[in-house]
Amino acid sequence: TPVEETLVLVKPDGVARNLTGEILRRIEAKGYQLVDIRLVEADLELLTEHYAEHQGKPFFEPLLEFMQSGPIVAIRIAGHRVIEGFRALAGTTDPTTAAPGTIRGDLGRDWGLKVQQNLVHGSDSPESAARELALWFK
């Protein structure tokens, strides 16, 4: 299987809680290669495109608001089956029920935080990865 690339975002909650290093550590420990990395203050236009599939859902506006609340670390990583592999490292969307051992399960505090504050984003398919990498790494 050829090497894939995917987009990882450390969301504003992850950056604010100084978890970028811990998240990078887990990515590197798994054996994935860092290809590119940047600190981004994402604007509404970028975020609207990034989350286009969720437009019209009740959590769309709060999600975009949250994603503009502080800097994001955008990371391009490469590896064998890295798209599904990073999704497995991240854990399921809701940190409350994400499995222990995952980023969201281990580090996503349950103190009444909203689901959107789940530390990371990872592309969910080869099509999403190509589309999202083009948005965040022009």
Instruction: List residues binding Mg ion (CB under 5 A).
Output: 124
Work out which of 34, 40, 115, 134 binds ligand DAT, going by CB under 6 A: 115
User: Which of ligand DAT, Mg ion, none binds 118 (CB below 5-8 Å, type-dependent)?
Assistant: ligand DAT
**4-10 vs 120-122, strand pairing mode:** antiparallel
CB 117 within 8 A of CB 94: no
Residue 25 annotated as binding? no
Residue 29: other Cβ atoms inside 10 A: 9
Tokens 């994400």, residue located: 98
Work out which of 78, 116, 130, 131 binds ligand DAT, going by CB under 6 A: 116
Work out which of 36, 124, 130, 131 binds ligand DAT, going by CB under 6 A: 124
The DSSP H or E segment spanning 126 is: helix 126-136
Task: Give the helix ranges, DSSP H, for 7-99.
Answer: 12-16, 20-30, 44-50, 60-67, 82-90
Residue 50 among the catalytic residues = no
Q: Is 93 in the site for ligand DAT (CB under 6 A)?
A: yes
Catalytic amino acids? Answer: 121
Binding-site residue ranges for ATP: 11, 59, 87, 93, 104, 118
Binding residues for ligand DAT, rule: CB under 6 A, are 54, 59, 63, 93, 115-116, 118, 121, 124
